[in-house]
Amino acid sequence: MEGTRVALLAALFACLSPCLSAEGGPTPASQKALLDRYCVGCHSAKLKTGGVVLEGIDLTHAGNHAEVLEKVIRKLQTGEMPPPGLPRPDAATYTTLAKWIEDSIDRYSAANPNPGRPVIHRLNRSEYSDTIRDLLALDTKPGALLPVDDSGFGFDNIGDVLSVSPALLERYMSAARRISRMAVGEPGMKPTEEEFSARTLGMRTTRNERVSDDLPFDSRGGMAFEYYFPVDAEYQIRIKLNGGDSAGNATPYEIRMPVKAGLRTVGVDFLRDSTKPEIIPTAGGRRGGGGAAPPGGAGRGAKPLTAEMDLRIDGAKIKRFEPTEGFGFPQVDRVIIDGPYNPTSAGDTPSREKVFVCRPPAGGKDDDPCARMILTNLAHRAFRRPVADTDVQPLMAFYKQGKQDAGFDMGIEKALRAMLVSPDFVFRIERDPAGKAPGTVYRIGDVELASRLSYFLWSSMPDQTLQDLAEKGKLKDPAVLAQQVRRMLDDPRSQSLVDNFISQWLTLRNIALAKPDPDAFPEFDESLRQAFNTETELFTQNIIREDRPVTELLDANYTFLNERLAQHYGINNIYGSQFRKVTLTDPNRGGLLGQGSILTVTSYPNRTSVVQRGKWILENLLGSPPPPPPPDIPDLKPTSHDGHQLTIREAMQQHRANPVCASCHVRMDPLGFAMENYDGVGKWRTKEAGTEIDPSGKMPDGSSFRGPAELKKSLLASHRDEYLTTLTSKLLTYALGRGLEYYDMPAVRSITRQAAKDDYRVSALVTAIVQSTPFQMRRIPEE
């Protein structure tokens, strides 16, 4: 007895010092003991469950096992492991384990940074368009004519996946030709025809409202678009309406007129008063229905009603037509622009201003110095780095050839054309410094950093300010860098974060492809689709502009509405087609999960999908996508054996009954059920299939909620960290243009911690990313 007591005391003492180290905190030994006790049973070297082996890991050198330990951290954070039913430590120990492993790895990573290495990065379509816009003041979106880019990790700016094919190179060459011609303004251009369709532009509407900000307040219908008139010349503009006369011919409404070169807004609209429905019904007739081919007996014998149609350029009325089609409700089908004819001069366009930084002296001799100046300036900007004689010499050769053919301007055009297909332009190239050993980690130069920064925040080239700072080496100063980030976020070009990052992260590009069934959702039309897009765009743009915390994306109490959308959401007293910020009183709406865009994109054409919505949340907000389903899943049966309509919840009961299904569906379905009050196009409903909807959901970790408002609260309460980590990871992927690896996780954690200091505001998150190891550094590969 005495012996055992001593032994016990001795054991206690022996335990005391390591156990009491750091005030009784965790140690490598104690944490390893946890792993051995709760994990190695399955994850042994012999069984290798799930491909993960935790036996024999040396936690004193956690950094050496970062890859597998990151997986452990993930599972601990989501609470998935050990699997439900198997023993696990108490909550405090559990959390401590996760945190301890994280800290160990972070410590190791701070001492041994691994920034990875993005592959040389080809400009994607939108980057190409935006770079041309900023280089040459030519906003004609030439990227739209390039083949569609492949995407990876959810984004289309991933260097590894952006390949070059002969078809792509051909398109680059023809695009370069077109662009250089328009930028320089070649008077010898042959006329071409270009067609703009109202439907493709999303301006086809059956509603009697103003369709575009570029058209006057008192207008109805029509269409507006931007067109680049390449040179001062005559252009023929033709308007084609829907319907036409009884022979099916559409009378062309046209005008041929001189227009000065430049990007102009061309608009066609109808005057409001003239299109008021004051048609007197005749025998067999009915009120004119917006432009469709008139029904047989309607209006025969009645005098056709004229509308007043205005053609506008840059808002100014050029000509008024009086079409008789459409019985007072004509609709524009398309506008065709033909030209240039009889060009008078190259014109005075902003792009000529950018290109011609000097003019050659009169006389046609001594042109070369000015040409050299022009081309050096262009190459400097186009290649996004200082240029040397080796860069400019070959361009001068093109210039000389072109000048011989058709003069100074043509010479510059030819050189520009070559520049635009050079790999220096089309690729973002980062070069390793010479003489460094493989495996070395170094900070990239300022010039390269400037490119990374501008393509991250603007999807385009650095502007003069940024480039100057970079070339002077000032970007090394963190204060200067932070200031530039703020400036760039405030700049209108940061719209690209909405157009490219947000739209891909939230899978919003699928809105354009959604086809809700007209029988199930008769109220869905093109103007609602547009409204969905605009709402989410304005909402996210506002978060960025106003530098709001990113959590507000989920729990905002406001949104942006116009009359159409407000009606759809059941919100009263919103009039007019303009969007405006509206404070919401209903806690269910508000935030991304209450927006029609996301609700429609996660539904089937004729009904909601609980699973798709759950999956969307798991994948895009919580970063834990479910694995793909097994093949041959049967369709939902909408009626039970006795023929009564089943609710979705009833129909999906297999997900809960069958354990194979349940393993994944317990995480997805509750989230989707909570959103069931929103139908397949985002409208609020209380009944489905004749029964009251039950919007309750219970997650495997015990949290439960009823309806969207509580779901949002719960997400931000219990899953805030996952949301923030997911957003950070996605934004970092987009910023780096490569997928994230296990060695990037310390950076993700450090960025999130940093952003926390400023309430997770957008600028804080972006600045933290810009200052992070993978963004600022590179690693020389071991060949």
Partner 1 sequence: MIVTKKALARRTFLRGLGTTLAIPFLDAMVPALKAGTTAKASVRTAFVYVPNGIIMKDWTPAAEGAGYEFMPAMKALEPFRENMLVLSGLAQVNGRALGDGAGDHARAGATWLTGVHPKKTEVAIHAGISADQMLARELGKQTQLGSLEVGLESPSLAGDCDSGYSCAYTNTISWRNPTTPMPVEVNPRAVFERMFGDGESTDAVARLASMKEQSSILDYIRGDVARLSNGLGGSDRNKLDQYLEAIRDIERRIQKAEEQNATMKMPVMERPTGIPDEFEDHAHLMMDLQVLAFQADMTRVISFMMAREGSNRSYRSIGITDGHHSVTHHMNDPEKIAKTAKINTHHVETFAYFINKLKSTPDGDGTLLDHSQILYGSSISDGNAHTHHDLPIALIGGAAGRIKGGRHVRYPKETPLNNLLLTMMDHTGVRIDQLGDSTGELKLLSI
Q: Which of residues 141-180 bind partner 1 (CB under 8 A)?
A: 145, 147-148, 150-156, 158-161, 163-171, 173-174, 177-178
Query: Which residue among 48, 107, 199, 276 contacts partner 1 (CB under 8 A)?
Result: 199
Q: Which residues between 207 and 226 bind partner 1 (CB under 8 A)? A: none
Residue type present at position 554:
L
Across-strand partners of 235? 257
Residues 377-436 that bind partner 1 (CB under 8 A): 390, 394, 398, 401, 414, 417-418, 421-424, 427, 429, 431-432, 434
Nearer to partner 1, 511 or 764 (CB): 511
Compute the distance between CA of residue 755 and CA of residue 762 in angstroms, rounded to an integer: 8
Q: Name the one range near partner 1 by CB under 8 A: 105-113, 352-360, 504-512, 646-654.
A: 504-512
Phi first, then psi: what are they for 528, rounded to 5°? -70, -40
| CA distances in angstroms from 427 to 424, 457, 463, listed in the order given | 6, 18, 17
Q: How far is the CB of 620 from partner 1 (least distance, A)?
A: 10
- Identity of the residue, 79 or 191, whose beta carbon is nearer to partner 1 in the bound complex: 191
Q: Record the tokens describing residue 123, joined without a space.
A: 């400009």
d(CA 87, CA 34): 11
**Closest separation in Å from C-beta 54 to partner 1:** 25
Contact with partner 1 (CB under 8 A): which of 85, 301, 634, 690?
634
- Using DSSP's 3-state secondary structure scheme, residue 591 falls into coil
For partner 1, the closer of residues 173 and 482 by Cβ is: 173
- Looking at the Cβ atoms of 165 and 686, the one nearer to partner 1 is 165
Q: Per 3-state DSSP, what percentage of the chain is helix, strand, and coil (rounded to 5)?
A: 45, 15, 40
Does 642 interact with partner 1 (rule: CB under 8 A)?
no
To the nearest whole angstrom, how small is the minimum distance from the Cβ of residue 198 to partner 1? 11
The closest of 213, 230, 239, 436 to 337, measured between CA atoms, is 239
| Cβ 132 to partner 1 shortest distance, Å | 16
Residue 158: left (phi > 0), alpha (psi -120 to 50), or beta?
Answer: beta
Nearer to partner 1 by Cβ, of 3 and 248: the residue is 248
Question: Min. distance of Cβ 777 from partner 1 in angstroms?
Answer: 15
For residue 82, say if its preceding peptide bond is cis, omega within 30 degrees of 0.
yes
Binding test (CB under 8 A) with partner 1, winner from 11, 12, 15, 119: 119
| 677 and 693 Cβ atoms separated by less than 8 Å | yes
| Contact pattern from residue 735 through residue 764 relative to partner 1, giving x for each residue in contact according to CB under 8 A and a dash for the rest | ----x-------------------------
Give the DSSP H/E element, type plus range, for residue 22: helix 2-24
By C-beta, is 494 or 504 nearer to partner 1?
A: 504
Q: Which of 131, 121, 133 minimizes the C-alpha distance to 157? A: 121
> How many C-alpha atoms does 183 have within 13 Å on its Cβ side?
29
Give the start-end residues of each E strand in 59-152. 121-122
* Cβ-based nearer residue to partner 1, 165 or 464: 165
Q: How far apart are CA 748 and CA 308, in angstroms?
A: 59
Here the tokens at position 240 are: 């084609």
Strands 192-197 and 332-345: antiparallel
Type and span of the H or E element at 340: strand 332-345
- Between 191 and 289, whose beta carbon lies closer to partner 1? 191
- Residues 6 or more apart in contact with residue 368 via CB below 8 angstroms: 396
Number of residues that bind partner 1 (CB under 8 A): 83
Nearer to partner 1, 122 or 749 (CB): 122
Q: What is the C-alpha separation between 664 and 656, in angstroms, rounded?
A: 10
Q: Between residues 168 and 293, which has the closer beta carbon with respect to partner 1?
A: 168
How far apart are CB 125 and partner 1 at their closest, in Å?
Answer: 12
661 residue type, one letter: C
Among residues 63, 191, 202, 289, which is the contact residue for partner 1, using CB under 8 A?
191
**DSSP assignment letter at 348:** -
Q: Footprint of partner 1 on residues 434-453 (CB under 8 A)?
A: 434
Instruction: Report the site for partner 1 in 122-141 (rule: CB under 8 A).
Output: 122
Q: Are 498 and 537 in contact (CB under 8 A)?
A: yes
Q: Do 422 and 383 meet the contact criterion of CB atoms below 8 Å apart?
A: yes
User: Quick check: helix, strand or coil at residue 753?
Assistant: helix
3-state secondary structure of 646: coil
**Contact status: 664 vs partner 1 (CB under 8 A):** no
- Whichever of 667 and 778 has its CB closer to partner 1, that residue is 778
**Which residues, 46 to 105, sit near partner 1 by CB under 8 A?**
none
Closest Cα partner for 172 from 122, 135, 137, 231?
A: 122
**Whole-number minimum distance, CB 262 to partner 1, in Å?**
22
Cα separation, 430 vs 121, whole angstroms: 9
Window 605-624: residues binding partner 1 (CB under 8 A): 605-606
What's the token pair of residue 402? 């072109």
Q: Which of residues 685-744 bind partner 1 (CB under 8 A)?
A: 739
Q: How far apart are CA 375 and CA 369, in angstroms?
A: 10
Closest CB to partner 1 among residues 510, 704: 510
Shortest spacing between CB 373 and partner 1, in angstroms: 20
Give the shortest CB-181-to-partner 1 separation in angstroms.
10
In the complex, minimum distance from the CB of residue 619 to partner 1, in angstroms, rounded to a whole number: 9
| Closer residue to partner 1 (CB): 282 or 604 | 604
Binds partner 1 by CB under 8 A, chosen from 58, 67, 193, 322: 193
- Gap between the Cα atoms of 637 and 780, Å rounded: 57
CB of 612 to partner 1, least distance (A): 13
Q: Out of 631, 643, 690, 702, which residue is the one contacting partner 1 (CB under 8 A)?
A: 631
Token pair listed for 644: 């009564």
Query: Please, which residue, 151 or 567, has the CB nearer to partner 1?
Result: 151
Element counts in the chain: helices (H) and strands (E) = 29, 18
Q: Which is nearer to partner 1, 63 or 605 (CB)?
A: 605
Please report whether residue 629 would count as binding partner 1 according to CB under 8 A. Answer: yes
Q: Which residues pair with 691 in a beta bridge?
A: 688
State the nearest-atom distance from the C-beta of 418 to partner 1, in Å.
Answer: 5
Q: Distance (Å, rounded) from C-alpha 596 to C-alpha 603? A: 11
Site string for partner 1, 574-593 (x = CB under 8 A): --------------------
Please name the residues in contact with 498: beta carbons below 8 A apart, sequence gap of 6 or more. 537, 540, 541, 544
State the minimum distance, in angstroms, from the CB of residue 467 to partner 1: 20
Give 266 or 755: the residue with its C-beta nearer to partner 1.
266
| Identity of the residue, 154 or 350, whose beta carbon is nearer to partner 1 in the bound complex | 154
Tell me which residues in 322-361 interact with partner 1 (CB under 8 A).
Answer: 338
Residues 17-46 that bind partner 1 (CB under 8 A): none
CB 141 within 8 A of CB 111: no
163 vs 246, which CB is nearer to partner 1?
A: 163
Strand 704-706 and strand 696-698: the pairing is antiparallel
Instruction: Count the Cβ atoms, other than its own, within 10 Å of residue 557.
Output: 13
In whole angstroms, the minimum distance from the beta carbon of 348 to partner 1 comes to 25
User: Which of 58, 67, 103, 194 contacts partner 1 by CB under 8 A?
Assistant: 194
Residue in 5, 303, 365, 515 binding partner 1, rule: CB under 8 A: 515
User: How far apart are alpha carbons 513 and 590 in whole angstroms?
Assistant: 24
**Interaction pattern, residues 247-266, with partner 1; x per rule: CB under 8 A:** -xxx----------------
